Chain A
Amino acid sequence: MNLTLKIWRQSGSSDKGRMVTYRVEDVSPDMSFLEMLDVLNERLILEGDDPVAFDHDCREGICGMCGMVINGVAHGEQRATTTCQLHMRHFEDGAVITIEPWRAAPFPVIKDLVVDRSSFDRIIQAGGFVSVPAGSAPDAHAMPVPKEDADAAFDAATCIGCGACVAACPNGSASLFTAAKITHLGLLPQGQPERDSRARAMVEQMDAEGFGGCTNTGECTAVCPKGIPFDTIAQMNADYLRSASS
């Protein structure tokens, strides 16, 4: 496959940045999107150019490091897929592909496609934890959890914190991420003591970071590589309202 890539290049946070066009030839359809960028970078290095910086780690869709907006869609148009698990066979030969970093004020660009997601860490620090000693995994029958709660908590716990929800949201809201953490901990017995204060602290931190407000467009859950359910945002709102009224 031969591709034309339009990639956001920005040497640092003080650089204004621009889109630069590259041609990549002989791309195998079996390559992942990141491997395709590796091919480009190897050539750029050989030519003495600066390679395109992008975040990545496990390359098996579980770490949450990778992520870029591909043709206007976070992680590309393939549903429930991280960028590293997106394969070139989903693109046509000769395609023009636009690649941009997540765009949000609380995600400043560090370099090229790499953004600083420390704002997510600060939301977690505000309340995304349990203070009881949870120890190692308890025996399955030691602490009964209703099946419905266990399933909903597990679905929410699959969030890898990649930030695609923020990138896709027309409001730049971090509601799905924050809601996933609040739901995951708030539905389980270990998370009950801090349930109210957690919801309030995390929502307030999310707002303080400069994320936008949720208008329930559903774009976040549509691009989420883990398919975090939209219902988690309702859970966050319910917990937040409960904490505000207590």
Chain B
Amino acid sequence: MAVTGAVLVLFLVGHMLGNLKIFLGADSFNHYADWLRTVGSPALPDRTLLTITEIALVLAVALHMWAAVSLARRAAKARPVKYAAKRKSQASGYATHTMRWGGVIIVLFVIWHLLDMTFGTVNPGGGDATPYDRMIAGFQPGRWWVGLFYLVAMVMVGLHLRHGLWSAFQSLGLTRRPRVRNALRVGAAVVSAVLVIGFVAAPVCIMIGVVK
């Protein structure tokens, strides 16, 4: 869970930084998208980095989900008889309660996101438009429901990361002492917040017309 999660977090950081290039204009953004396909060229064939990343991501997502499902199944087996009274959570932490269903929402979002921005199937610009045009077309104010879905999904990602990052530190045994533990807890929250803000910045700015 922790290791596959770490792979996905690293990807998110790169993805967010790439997204922010939208603020540098169409040329910069399109050039970056093009560069991703031609890294190492001509020594390496086109799409080398992209293909490796895609394989790593698919593997990480699959193993992450497998780990989550095994944990849930073990949990169900460990408590065959449920409590009659509604279990009242005593620990603070809304994020913790969103991990399983939040994860499912994120998977659905990723499917939509790929159809929208990668394949262009559900994008008004279509698959042939430049990445920049696809992004602008996707978040037009008339398609506010798409933007809203993105915002909700990003908040889910933020909550998922907040517990996920912290939980990974705990699982790897890094949070043994109060000072380190508190630093990592704050660190997990800050990284999650920065990623969410970085990801929602582009859609919000397009929707309110700052980026055209």
Contact = CB atoms under 8 A, between A and B. Distances in A.
Interface of A: 6, 8, 19, 69, 71-73, 77, 79, 98, 100, 103-106, 148, 152, 168, 170-173, 210-219, 221-223, 230-231, 233-241
Contact of A235 (B89, B171, B176): B176
Contact of A215 (B71, B79, B80): B71
Contact of B93 (A6, A218, A240): A218
B91 A212 contact: no
29 contacts: A6-B84, A19-B84, A69-B85, A73-B87, A79-B90, A98-B85, A103-B81, A105-B77, A148-B177, A171-B75, A211-B78, A212-B78, A213-B71, A213-B74, A213-B75, A215-B96, A217-B93, A217-B96, A218-B96, A219-B89, A219-B91, A222-B90, A231-B175, A231-B176, A235-B176, A237-B172, A237-B173, A238-B176, A240-B173
B132 interface: no
Contact of B172 (A72, A170, A241): A241
A9 B83 CA distance: 13
Interface string B62-81: 00000000110011011111
Interface stretch (B7-15, B149-157, B162-170, B194-202): B162-170
Nearest to B96: A217
A212 B71 CA distance: 7
A243 to B, nearest CB: 11
A144 to B, nearest CB: 19
Interface of B: 70-71, 74-75, 77-93, 96, 99, 163, 166-167, 169-178, 181
Q: Which of B71, B74, B83, B92 has the most CB of A within 10 A?
A: B83
B69 to A, nearest CB: 12
Contacts of A234: 169-170, 173-176, 181
Contacts of A239: 173
B163 A171 contact: no
Given A6-B84, A148-B177, A233-B170, 20 more contacts: A73-B90, A98-B84, A100-B84, A100-B85, A170-B75, A170-B87, A211-B78, A212-B74, A212-B79, A213-B71, A217-B91, A217-B96, A218-B92, A218-B93, A219-B89, A222-B90, A223-B90, A234-B181, A235-B176, A241-B173
Q: Say what secondary structure dominates the interface of chain B.
A: loop
A75 to B, nearest CB: 10
Contacts, number: 116
A226 B178 CA distance: 18
Nearest to A70: B85
Contacts of A240: 173
A70 to B, nearest CB: 8
Nearest to A8: B84
Given A105-B80, A237-B173, A218 B91 contact: yes
Contact of A100 (B83, B88, B89): B83
Q: Which of A98, A236, A237 has the most CB of B within 10 A?
A: A237
A213 to B, nearest CB: 5
A72 B78 contact: no
> Would you list the 10 A-B pairs with minimal beta carbon distance, nearest first?
A238-B173, A172-B78, A212-B78, A222-B90, A218-B91, A72-B85, A171-B75, A237-B173, A98-B85, A216-B167
A98 B77 CA distance: 24
Contacts of B79: 103-105, 172, 212
A171 B68 CA distance: 12
A69 B83 contact: yes
B81 to A, nearest CB: 5
A171 B71 contact: yes
Q: Which of A168, A213, A236 has the most CB of B within 10 A?
A: A213
B122 to A, nearest CB: 34
A8 B177 CA distance: 40
Contacts of B169: 234
A71 B163 CA distance: 27
